[in-house]
Chain A
Amino acid sequence: MNAAFWDKLQKVDRRVLYVVLVVLTSIGLFLKAEIPVAVDDSSADFYAKLMKIDPNKPVVVQTDWTISTRGENMAHLECLLRILMTRKIKFVYYSATSDAPAFQVATDVIRHINEERKAMNLKVYERGTDYIGLGLFPNAEGANESMRNDIKKAWGGRRVRMPDGNETDIFQTPVLKGVNSMGDFGLMVVVTASDTIDFAVQRLNDKVELTGMATGVIAPGMLPYYQARQLKGFAGGLKGCYDMEYMMKHGINHPEEGGKIYVNAGKIVGEVPPLGSGKDLARATQYYADLHIALSLLIFAVVVGNVAMFAQKKAKKGAE
């Protein structure tokens, strides 16, 4: 093949690549399958932490994403809510980002997970008695700083409408009764698509056990925090979320029928059970097989591009 062919190959219309991506990712959605996976240490630690925390202590969920990162963050939050609701752990949630829809989006996810649970005849979470929403804090640094200093002052004076219609001070509700400082929370989880995890680490990692669920863009930046134990675990990107769903189904070091162990995590000492009830394999599972196809396409594109470049150079040299 001559240099012109390789040159042409390198200059193929970008729209051809776009069509290939759309077609392949569409086909990939129909290949939904439970793919065996070696879970990341960070995901295993996060799952183990969520399954082991005291169910009588509430969890703080800071949810800083909007639909723009739905592909990853919605799967993250759904996964987290399923675990908390199945373990009957109460939670308080808020958004600390200047992205205005963040809080509304999280509220909508709680609503649809409740609808899912209702359809499965499982306990539905009620506002005020099982969870509380605090709204949007556009200045994440300020929000986390005041939480670090005094949670009662930071959230003081806020009320929530209880199921009986009465407005009640949030610290008198079953969710936050007995909470006087960040240390009284069982765990804090930051579900994020931005650098708000940095602010949380800066201000809260020594006050509460901190974990995270972040997009693939943010996740590599969480590795140093995890290595230094500032984060006790995290689910990074779609893979991290699939890890979580896989562990929700199979547990960690947990022997199933025939003694088969699906998730061997040498780092986790002992056994962590699967979730047991409710949905386990869900959105991330639906997308994970497709991710294989999309990544393979990218690797293929890079390889072809490079082969074409070298072949063109060689052909040119040959012609000279």
Chain B
Amino acid sequence: MELLAQARLTFFGMTPNSPELWVKIIVTFILGLGVMFAFTKAPIRARRMIVFSFTFASGLFYILLWLWPVAVAREPGTLPNNAVEGVAFWLDDAVPRIADVAQILTAFLLGLGIMSLLTVHTQRIRRKAQDWKYSVLLMVSLVTMVGFGYVDWIQKKFQDPQGKLLEMANWGPVQYGQDLLFDGAYQQMEAAMFSMIAFFILSAAYRAFRVRSVESTVLMASALILMLSLMGALDFIWTTGINNLVAQTHNPFLDNFKISEVAGWVKSTLQTPSIRAIEFGVGLGAVAMGLRIWLGLERGGVSA
């Protein structure tokens, strides 16, 4: 009871697994579905306003959080002095909840890609389209992965309080199966897929990376300096030669001609500002795009 008393129960935050909480969850869900159903009946003209309202309200939260006066030296249990401070408290308390909204909705939407994949492949199987057997293969792999994945999670989460299954020596068939599919097959295939880009880069560089203009020459020179600086062995040989020269001439200025020094200079004096310029441009674009989305001016984006 003492532990129970430590947590603050409110109208919104209720005792776990209590019947009242479950009733409210179900009612909230049904009401949500009701609103969703009502939206399906919305006239075409209202659709844009509905989507805009959701977008604007979401954006407004962070704009308010940024512009609203912040309550200073707030202690747990402090009551606000006035309405302005009340809003500040509310904004402050709502940040993690709003962040949760972004996490949860993103997670729900991640399923959309899988849904689309399933739709395409079930149709291919149903129609016995060309190479439909590969679609069956895809489905079997998917179901097997889901099966092993969930059983493994349930066993680790709810049936292994000592965390013994974290060690391979204590694994059962499910853990071996999950590991074989995830680490043995899926992960290695992902690595192989991504590594293939290197082959295409090599081929493209051989065929197309030509000194044809000032721009391509500058790009090639910059890339070459950077690649040479990545090769420590080459740098070492060159540096040893420079060090010997410095020792003979007692002229430390020659140190500036080490590959690492030249590359460091190019990096800090030319590459950093040019990348920064690109990022400044991208950043300004993001602000402009952000404002356009928030204010519902972006036609192709979230406007219905």
Interface residues of B in 75-102 (CB under 8 A from A): 92-93, 95-96, 98-102
Chain A min CB distance to B267 (Å): 7
Contacts of B106 in A (CB 8 A): 98, 138-139, 142
With an 8 A cutoff between CB atoms, is B135 at the interface? no
Which DSSP category, helix, strand, loop or mixed, fits chain B's interface? Answer: helix
Interchain CB contact under 8 A, A154 and B236:
no
Per a CB cutoff under 8 Å, which of A36, A227, A301 touches B205?
A301
| Smallest CB gap from B160: residue in A | A161
Q: 8 Å CB contacts to B: which residues of A127-178? A: 127, 137-139, 141-143, 145-146, 149-150, 153-154, 156, 161, 163, 165
Say what secondary structure dominates the interface of chain A: helix
Q: Is the CB of B199 within 8 A of A302?
A: no
Chain B residue contacts of A21, Cβ below 8 A: 198-199, 202
B205–A111 CB distance below 8 A: no
- Evaluate whether A146 and B99 lie within 8 angstroms (CB atoms) in the complex, with A10-B207, A21-B202, A37-B236 already known: yes
A residues within 8 A CB of B298? none
A193-246: which have CB < 8 Å to B?
A: 220-221, 223-224, 227, 237, 239, 242
A220 to B230, CA, bound (A): 13
- Enumerate chain A residues within 8 angstroms of B258, measured Cβ to Cβ: 38
Interface flag for A179 (CB, 8 Å): no
Q: Report how far A156 CA is from B93 CA in the complex, Å.
A: 12
Distance of A138 Cα from B104 Cα, bound (Å): 8
A35-84 at interface with B (beta carbon < 8 Å): 35-38, 40-41, 66-71
In which size bucket is the chain A interface? 35 or more
- On chain B, the residues within 8 Å of A289 by CB distance are 233
A17-B203 CB under 8 A given contacts A139-B102, A223-B275, A224-B279: yes
A97 → B minimal CB distance (Å): 10
- Given A67-B190, A111-B166, A142 and B102 contact (CB-CB distance below 8 Å): yes
- As a 0/1 sequence over residues 198 to 219 of chain B, the CB contacts with chain A under 8 angstroms (1 = contact) are 1101110111011100000000
- A237 vs B95: C-alpha distance in the bound complex, in angstroms? 35
By beta carbon, the residue of chain A nearest B240 is A36
A291 partner residues in chain B, CB cutoff 8 A: 230-231
- Asked if A220 meets B271 with Cβ closer than 8 Å, knowing A163-B163, A299-B224, the reply is yes
Kindly list chain A residues whose C-beta atoms are within 8 Å of the C-beta of B267. Answer: 223
| B28 within 8 Å of A (CB atoms) | no
Tell me which residues from 3 to 37 in chain A have a Cβ below 8 Å from any Cβ of chain B: 10-12, 14, 17-18, 21, 35-37
Residues on A facing B (Cβ under 8 Å): 10-12, 14, 17-18, 21, 35-38, 40-41, 66-71, 98, 100-101, 104-105, 108, 111, 115, 127, 137-139, 141-143, 145-146, 149-150, 153-154, 156, 161, 163, 165, 220-221, 223-224, 227, 237, 239, 242, 288-289, 291-292, 294-299, 301-302, 304-306, 309
